[in-house]
């Protein structure tokens, strides 16, 4: 459903009326998820700026009361983008919450109050969610199988060599566990620099603030006890922490979901990086409950619990769409659709190619005597324009012939100047369509 035609909701509209009639505030929680560096913070900043700039309904930043989750620093991020020279928002290293409220006129019925909640958190942590459904042995086997791919040997050789050197019944030695964790972390960093995305556990790449507890020190290991037992216990404690700190408070009550992915960078990364991104996206989507399951509902009812909530709408968004010309953005949305839902689109999902903070303008570039649609913008820290034609974006997962030609790296363009210092919204591509799809029924 590219373009974002919002499905008609026969439940939401009467709910809005009832909420208005009863003078209640309806809260809609939007989870913004995405792989690392997909641009979640910029997306949230842009969406909040667009909502705050709407003439009707008028939104305002909501007070967070005495809640546990820190406030998303919207003014700070907006100021960074609006600064001259501009800066991209800092990498997210912890969970934060952005809440907006609005009073929506629905005359002749009483006006209703709406509260929108958006969650931001480190993208690295998203891939911790699939761990909830795996034990240590299964996770280790799957991870090691991926790491043993021949094309990853330059990055993984050191860690796999360490594993190969461990004896069959390695002792549960603290020094061994620490050394293995250190090597595994260094390997994850190298893989990330190489464009890989399916990197677990997330806190190895983006540690939580504060001192690290001992259970963070583990790595995939297929050997048995005693070292395997120690690592398995630490893995179980890690999974408990993910369930306690991330899954239950943040994802249990999400009504709408945005899944962001930097598909263009994955195309640049090559066949292995692209396949890895596809696998990561699939694992993350599978870990989030956005399809109604009769088995889960029946299981809950037999335990005298309410069935788990189902996410009503999911938007899969290929970000940084301003790095390719408009002519190619349709292909980018189609590619996102093929990656996110290989079995075909399902009800309540839509696919977009968007740029939450626009950095470039389109222009026609004559290359080798032929005009091509390209983009140009200023790279951060430079005062001259850079022209970019990174290559053609396929509308399906590319075959082997695609990788024979390079898809160039995306330059780090600086954001366009923000009108009114960002108070008039952030220049973007496609954000209105995403907002309409996600929130059209409640606005």
Closer of 84 and 399 to another protein (Cβ): 84
Q: Which of 7, 297, 386, 395 binds another protein (CB under 8 A)?
A: 386
Tell me if residue 31 falls in helix, strand or coil.
Answer: strand
CB of 405 to another protein, least distance (A): 7
Contact status: 414 vs another protein (CB under 8 A): yes
Query: How many residues does the structure list for the chain?
Result: 443
Let me know: does 74 contact 48? Beta carbons within 8 Å: yes
101 is a site residue for another protein (CB under 8 A): no
The residues that bridge with 100 in the sheet, in sequence order, are 61, 116
Q: Which stretch binds another protein (CB under 8 A): 141-149, 297-305, 341-349, 384-392?
A: 384-392
Tokens found for residue 240: 């408990």
Spatial CB neighbours of 157, under 8 Å, sequence gap ≥ 6: none
Return d(Cα 38, Cα 232) in angstroms, integer: 31
User: In the complex, what is the shortest distance from the CB of residue 358 to another protein, in angstroms, rounded to a whole number?
Assistant: 7
Of 110 and 213, CB closest to another protein: 110
Residues in binding contact with another protein, number by CB under 8 A = 45
Residue 327 contacts another protein per CB under 8 A: no
- The interface region with another protein, picked from 48-56, 119-127, 223-231, 257-265 by CB under 8 A, is 48-56
Q: Which of 68, 368, 399, 404 binds another protein (CB under 8 A)?
A: 368
Between vectors from CA 434 to CA 430 and to CA 435, what angle results, nearest 5°?
115
Return the number of the residue (62 or 126) whose C-beta is nearest another protein.
62
Classify residue 250 by its DSSP letter. Answer: I
Distance CA 51, CA 98 (A): 12
Structural contact between residues 394 and 335, judged by C-beta atoms closer than 8 angstroms:
yes
N-term to C-term CA, the chain: 20
Identify the three-state secondary structure at position 190.
Answer: helix
46 contributes a contact to another protein by CB under 8 A: no
381 belongs to the binding site for another protein (CB under 8 A): no
Residue from 29, 256, 351, 358 in contact with another protein (CB under 8 A):
358
Q: What are phi and psi of 325, to 5 degrees?
A: -70, 160
Determine, following the binding rule CB under 8 A, whether residue 424 of this chain makes contact with another protein.
yes
The footprint of another protein on residues 51-80 (CB under 8 A) is 53-55, 58, 60-61
Q: Give the three-class secondary structure for 374.
A: strand
Residue 337 or 378: the one with the smaller Cβ distance to another protein is: 378
Residue ranges binding another protein (CB under 8 A): 53-55, 58, 60-61, 84, 86, 358-361, 367-368, 370, 372, 376-379, 382-392, 405-408, 411, 414, 416-417, 419-421, 423-424, 427
């Amino acid at each position: 459903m590219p373009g974002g035609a919002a499905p008609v909701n026969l439940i939401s509209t009467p709910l809005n009326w009832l909420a208005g009639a009863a003078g209640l505030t309806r809260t809609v929680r939007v989870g913004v998820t995405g792989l690392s560096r997909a641009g979640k913070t910029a997306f949230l900043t842009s969406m909040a700026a667009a909502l705050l700039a709407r003439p009707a309904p008028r939104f305002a930043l909501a007070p967070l009361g005495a809640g546990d989750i820190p406030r998303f620093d919207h003014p700070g991020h907006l100021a960074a983008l609006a600064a001259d020279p501009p800066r991209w928002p800092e990498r997210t290293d912890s969970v934060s919450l952005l809440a907006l409220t609005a009073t929506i006129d629905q005359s002749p019925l009483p006006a209703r109050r709406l509260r929108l909640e958006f969650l931001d958190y480190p993208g690295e942590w998203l891939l911790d969610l699939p761990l909830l459904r795996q034990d240590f042995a299964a996770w280790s086997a799957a991870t090691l199988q991926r790491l043993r791919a021949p094309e990853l040997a330059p990055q993984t050789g050191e860690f796999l060599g360490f594993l190969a050197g461990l004896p069959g019944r390695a002792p549960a030695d603290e020094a061994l566990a620490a050394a293995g964790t250190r090597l595994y972390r260094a390997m994850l960093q190298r893989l990330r620099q190489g464009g890989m995305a399916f990197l677990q556990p997330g806190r190895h790449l983006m540690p939580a603030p504060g001192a690290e507890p001992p259970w963070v020190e583990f790595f995939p290991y297929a050997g048995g006890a005693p070292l395997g037992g120690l690592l398995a216990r630490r893995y179980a404690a890690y999974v408990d922490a993910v369930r306690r700190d991330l899954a239950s408070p943040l994802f249990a009550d999400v009504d709408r979901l945005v899944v962001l992915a930097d598909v263009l960078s994955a195309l640049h990364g090559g066949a292995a990086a692209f396949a890895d991104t596809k696998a990561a996206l699939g694992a993350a989507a599978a870990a989030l409950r956005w399809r109604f399951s009769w088995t889960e509902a029946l299981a809950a009812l037999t335990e005298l619990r309410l069935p788990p909530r189902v996410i009503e709408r999911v938007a899969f968004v290929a970000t940084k769409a301003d790095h390719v010309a408009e002519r190619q953005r349709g292909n980018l949305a189609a590619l996102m659709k093929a990656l996110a839902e290989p079995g075909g689109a399902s009800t309540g999902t839509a696919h977009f190619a968007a740029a939450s903070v626009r950095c470039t303008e389109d222009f026609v570039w004559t290359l080798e005597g032929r005009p091509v649609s390209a983009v140009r913008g200023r790279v951060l820290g430079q005062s001259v324009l850079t022209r970019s034609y990174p290559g053609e974006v396929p509308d399906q997962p590319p075959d082997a012939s695609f990788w024979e030609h390079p898809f160039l790296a995306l330059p780090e363009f600086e954001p366009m100047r923000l009108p009114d210092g960002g108070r008039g919204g952030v220049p973007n591509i496609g954000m209105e369509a995403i907002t309409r799809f996600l929130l059209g029924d409640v606005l």
